[in-house]
Amino acid sequence: MSQTDHEKALETVRKLIKGIDIAMLTTVTSEGLVSRPMKTQEVEFDGDLYFLTTKDSSKYEELENNPHVNVGYVGDSYVSIRGKAQILQSREKIKEYWNVAYEKMLKTTSDDPNLILIKVNAETAEYWETGNWIKSALAFVYQLSGKKEAQDTNINNIIELT
């Protein structure tokens, strides 16, 4: 992917998820997949997503065992971002993303050694635009009828980010 294509892909995802406060983070467990709401960091998307949590949460162990994740956003569009997570324990980085809302949500302070930062390196994003109801309706009708033309409606797009 050329630098320009990469920049366009990042810009597309940046616009789609901008202003969405809560994302659904999906991790892999021994029983299967688990999703939970996570507060999105208020930073410009550059190919990485960040979430604060604690070591004593199930997410920590799940990510230690399998770093593959999916992050889902719902706003004016639906966005699904696949990537690999990394656990960061840098106090400086954690304080950079910390705000008073976390104190109430996580019942801790930014100095808590139990606090960690999940960094998701986004690999692929898939999105569905909700604004075109005609295209969505056609896709639904084609799916119900089993016709192959459903692919021609292109209600979703896939962007490679790596």
Q: What is the pLDDT of residues 119-146, one digit of tens each?
A: 999 999 999 876 655 555 656 666 676 6
Cα separation, 102 vs 110, in Å, equals 9
3-160: CATH architecture: Roll (2.30)
The total number of residues shown for the chain amounts to 162
Q: What is the pLDDT of residue 100?
A: 85
Q: What is the pLDDT of residue 5?
A: 85
Cα separation, 41 vs 99, in Å, equals 10
- Pick out the chain residues at pLDDT < 50: 150
**Model-level pTM?**
0.81
For the chain, give every domain's residue range: 3-160
Q: Among all chains, which residue has been given the structure tokens 């954690």?
A: 94
- Identify whether the C-beta of residue 90 lies closer than 8 Å to the C-beta of residue 111: no
Q: What is the pLDDT of residues 3-12, one digit of tens each?
A: 688 889 899 9
Specify the DSSP class assigned to residue 30.
Answer: T
